[in-house]
Amino acid sequence: MDDFAKALETHDYQFQKGQIVQGKVFQIDHDGAYVDIGGKSSAFLPRDEAALRAVTDLSEVLPLNEKLEFLIIREQDAEGQVTLSRRQLEIQHIWEKLATMQENSQTVQVKVIGVNKGGVTVNINSLRGFIPRSHLAERDNLEALVGQSLTAGFLEVDRSNKKLILSQRLAARSSNFNLLEAGQLVEGKVTGIKPFGVFVDLDGVSALLHIKQVSQKFIESLDKVFQVGQSIKGIIIDLDEGKGRVALSTRVLENYPGEVLENFAEVMTSAEARANRASAKSE
């Protein structure tokens, strides 16, 4: 019972694993540093937990008697001493920063460090991320990407499972989206034809030309008007970056109902003049 009572005395219940605490380093030795965090016993910070980068001189990153933040990574041992980390606190802050960047649809620079069948592994602020092959601009010669810096957007930021999945294509789409605006004449390639409309690729941004926006005249089948791979021009009538939507129209380029169906090549050739005229009418 006496031993149990002593153990209770030495145990400081205010310190738990995963908690962020403030303290001051008061002693540095070869294995690490001793920190006063206001407990019954001093806390210990192992050398390899001092910083995210490799450090030879601990005093560089752990100045004596300066108030710093630490993460508790191991609860008290038999002597009542907790183990601390600055390295894992930095990692925690990086995850939080990346999650915020994902929420704000921001992009980030990453360095390709490896290749596997599914894509490439990248270094991002000292964390390891992954870009699937389908989300790379260069999908054939992945080995050539090793050592290169890429701009990427975030597909998944999951700290609990240490999953960090990125997309180069998403970043390109976001960048290109910023160049688009309503009323603009754009050119792209048909990537798909559905009963309700035609999908058009605008340098990585997918746009929809709805069947009702093709011509002022009724259309029975879009397959008779368009084909996959075909280049077409249209005016942006609506865009929503949050939902990744761009709506196009070719009917506003017509001089008379059905002109797109009867004389498509002529409408496309003079699209710029027609777009200017349509813009002047709407003003």
| Both structure tokens of 173 | 């789409």
The predicted pLDDT at position 277 comes to: 84
The predicted pLDDT at position 114 comes to: 94
The predicted pLDDT at position 12 comes to: 56
Q: Where are the alpha helices (DSSP H) in 204-269?
A: 259-262, 264-269
What's 105-174's CATH class?
A: mainly beta
Per-residue pLDDT of the chain (283 residues; tens, 9 = 90+): 455 445 445 555 578 888 999 999 999 998 999 999 987 788 999 999 999 888 888 988 999 999 999 999 998 887 778 999 999 999 999 999 999 988 887 888 999 999 988 999 999 988 999 999 989 987 888 998 999 999 899 999 998 898 999 998 877 777 777 788 888 999 999 988 999 999 998 877 788 999 999 999 999 889 989 999 999 999 999 887 666 678 999 999 999 999 999 999 999 999 999 988 877 776 5
SS3 69: strand
Q: Tell me if the domain spanning 180-282 has CATH number 3.30.479.30.
A: no
What's 2-85's CATH class?
A: mainly beta
Q: Report residue 281: phi and psi, to 5°.
A: -65, -40
SS3 90: helix
Q: Report residue 148: phi and psi, to 5°.
A: -85, 155
The predicted pLDDT at position 283 comes to: 57
Domain ranges of the chain: 2-85, 105-174, 180-282
Other C-beta atoms closer than 10 Å to the C-beta of 43 total 25
d(CA 173, CA 178): 9
Answer whether 105-174 and 180-282 agree in fold. yes
